Amino acid sequence: MKTLKQGTTIPLSNGSTAVVKSLLGEGGQGAVYLAQVDGKDYALKIYAKRPSKKFMLNLLDNIRKGAPTKHFLWPKWMVNSPVYSGYVMDVRPKEYIEFSRFLIAKARFASWSALINGAMEITYAFRELHRAGLSYQDLNDGNFFFNPKTGSVLICDNDNVCPPDTNLGIRGKFRYMAPEVILCKNNPNNLSDYFSLSVILFMLLMNNHPLDGRRVASVPCLNDAIERHVYGEHPIFIYDLKDDSNRPVSGVHTNVRQRWQLFPQFVRDTFFKQFSAEVMANPNKRMADNEWLKVLQQLRNQTLRCDCGYETFAEVGSGTFCYTCGKQLGKPLTLSIGKQHIALYPGMCLYANQTSAKDDAFTVTGEVVRNAKDPYVWGIINRSQDTWTCTLPDGRTVNIESNMGFPIYRGMDVQFSQTRNGKIDRVIIKPDRVIM
């Protein structure tokens, strides 16, 4: 199809009309335009070739269902005229940058916190997508856009989203597809999405593909047969515990060689397991998105900001130091709430799903601060609307109203809500206590 001219009018399924303003981009499937609908700017995707009836019915169904979360640039209205087929979605704000730009260091996250927030937002968005009875099917580094300051994510190309085990023609990209999908053993589903999510999370955290080690580095050019072997028939994790044949190569895989050692042990343990030969070959053994969310939240619980301004990861309960300036940050006490352990260091936050029954890992409900008069005294401010009750080591109880704080003591109990109780101590997380 020829590129549409400015001013072309396209009829929409809601009865209104989109007026083409300019071309935003072109791909294999079609072109995306900036267009105006009822005086407001939107993105308009027009397919180069009319998709199947099944595809269009699925698109209509997704429009009816609506976006699972705000992170999806979800189809809003359909274009299905005799001449044009496509859909309208919101325009991506300019500050959101494609993930692939981060992978080649053309864009950088402002901090580890921003990166971890991005990882959590993607995982949360996919959890909600799966809970809505859908699967994404085509996860790859071209679908995600991040705000580098906050890590906030936008997910595009949602027209292939459909119920698990059905397929509308797109099977995914080699490097992101689950082995069983590459080998055509089954159609994409939630379990293959879990594999792709693990790949995306590894790439976000480590800036390297989990299967790209010596094997890929040793071939001058990847072709379909090699890709099928490396990502489908015989995938080997670069840090596989039983097979060291595919380790990262010095001078080639520089990022992952540096970053792998920085993270707390439970993060490495989670990747060891998810990319073990056994779990890669057995989709039913893969960790679900909700479990990933807990792992990432635990990582956020251990991300401390040093006085130098840079962040570092603590092994909860043990001594920690700043990776950037080398300063010893001591052994912060730990607030344990269920299976979550929060290193109590100034700047650390508590979130709604830790202090209440709300399923919300993003709203701050508490904050660790230094006492203004004595910076060696640290406390927690209640940023929620609930009243908390602290039980001091001597048995006295104190109510902590909203926006009030209390000093941190070892041995304290804090009742945040009916269902959430925390204890302050110096907990050591051992690998066998990984939150699963």
Contact residues: Zn ion, CB under 5 A = 306, 308, 322, 324-325, 327
Nearer to Zn ion, 197 or 306 (CB): 306
CB of 263 to Zn ion, least distance (A): 17
Q: Count of H helices and E strands in the chain?
A: 12, 21
Nearer to Zn ion, 308 or 357 (CB): 308
Nearer to Zn ion, 112 or 195 (CB): 112
CB of 110 to Zn ion, least distance (A): 16
Q: Tokens 């864009």 sit at which residue?
A: 107
Specify the 3-state DSSP secondary structure of 20: strand
**Phi and psi torsions of 75, nearest 5°:** -55, 130
Say how far apart CA 161 and CA 135 lie, in whole Å. Answer: 6
**Phi and psi torsions of 335, nearest 5°:** -100, 115
Nearer to Zn ion, 153 or 306 (CB): 306
254 CB contacts (<8 Å, ≥6 apart)?
none
**Phi and psi torsions of 244, nearest 5°:** -100, 20
**Phi and psi torsions of 11, nearest 5°:** -75, 140
Nearer to Zn ion, 326 or 395 (CB): 326
Written as one string, the DSSP assignment of 238-255 is: TT-SS--TTPPPTTTSHH
Q: Pairing between strand 421-425 and 40-47?
A: unpaired
Q: What is the dihedral of CA 373, 374, 378, 381, to 10 degrees?
A: 0
CB of 399 to Zn ion, least distance (A): 37
CB of 354 to Zn ion, least distance (A): 26
Say how far apart CA 122 and CA 152 lie, in whole Å. Answer: 9
Nearer to Zn ion, 241 or 325 (CB): 325
Nearer to Zn ion, 324 or 419 (CB): 324
CB of 366 to Zn ion, least distance (A): 24
User: Left, alpha or beta for 113 (phi > 0: left; psi -120 to 50: alpha)?
Assistant: alpha
Q: What's the token pair of residue 422?
A: 């925390």
Say how far apart CA 34 and CA 41 lie, in whole Å. Answer: 7
- How many of the other CB atoms lie within 10 Å of CB of 159? 24
Nearer to Zn ion, 306 or 343 (CB): 306
**Position 88, amino acid:** V
CB of 50 to Zn ion, least distance (A): 58
CB of 179 to Zn ion, least distance (A): 41
94 CB contacts (<8 Å, ≥6 apart)?
none
- How many of the other CB atoms lie within 10 Å of CB of 387? 14
Nearer to Zn ion, 325 or 398 (CB): 325
Q: Which residues pair with 312 in a beta bridge?
A: 304
Q: What is the dihedral of CA 47, 152, 135, 41, to 10 degrees?
A: -30
Nearer to Zn ion, 214 or 327 (CB): 327
Say how far apart CA 87 and CA 292 lie, in whole Å. Answer: 32
Say how far apart CA 172 and CA 167 lie, in whole Å. Answer: 11
CB of 377 to Zn ion, least distance (A): 21
**Which regions of 334-412 does DSSP assign to beta strands (E)?**
334-337, 340-343, 349-351, 364-370, 378-382, 388-391, 397-400, 405-407
Nearer to Zn ion, 50 or 327 (CB): 327
